[in-house]
Amino acid sequence: MALRPDEFYDHARAAADAEVRLPLARMTGWDISPFEPDGLRVAPLRPPVLPEPERHGEDPADCNVCRARDEGIWFNDRWRLARIMGVGVPLVLMLYPRDHYDMADLPDELAAELGVLTTHVVRHVQALPHISRAHVYRIGDGAAHLHIWFFARPAGQAQLFGSWMPVWDDLLPEYPANVADADAAAVANALVASYGGRRSAAGEQVHV
């Protein structure tokens, strides 16, 4: 049988020290880790909180993502793509349904579109100069409105391989905004050509 929340906590705590700190993850020993294991320690494991606090936008009437349904670099009637500002990697984009859905709520038609549209966005991000890979993430613990992350990994930066990349993004200095604007515009233009939809008015002012 599945472990109840308290049983899961007790199971994890059995592997922790007197301060309820678990051993360092194997990931911290990877050569792509942004942290050296010496001097690094794990935060104390906190007990479960039930019921869990609501995510932002559980009520569509209070959802900031819904209020921004007309903001972004690319749109069609069902989806919008926005650039996330102030990041350290070359480009971070976020894809949202324009109506209020989480992933588990998506109608099958929109779920099928999400797969195809995600592939198109990845293809166009990876076509940018000096970009080797587009990482795609869906987390979903912070906001109830579905949002899919696209991180552009710069070519040659082997430490940015894999699952540590969002942490590296948070550590790196801000990438030049004018370059990111141009790259975002290039992705939006390519998406219009390959998938349809339209660029935003603000995006049309960016010179590619």
Count of domains observed in the chain = 2
Per-residue b or e along 57-78, where b marks 16 or more CB atoms closer than 10 Å to that residue's CB: beeeeebebbeebeebbbbbee
Is 170 contained in some domain? yes
Q: Which of 30, 53, 76 is the last residue of a domain?
A: 53
Q: What is the pLDDT along the chain (208 residues), one digit of tens a residue?
A: 999 999 999 999 999 999 999 999 999 999 999 999 999 999 999 999 999 999 999 999 999 999 999 999 999 999 999 999 999 999 999 999 999 999 999 999 999 999 999 999 999 999 999 999 999 999 999 999 999 999 999 999 999 999 999 999 999 999 999 999 999 999 999 999 999 999 986 543 322 2
Q: What pLDDT shows up at residue 200?
A: 85
Is 131 contained in some domain? yes
What tokens appear for 137 in the block? 């993430």
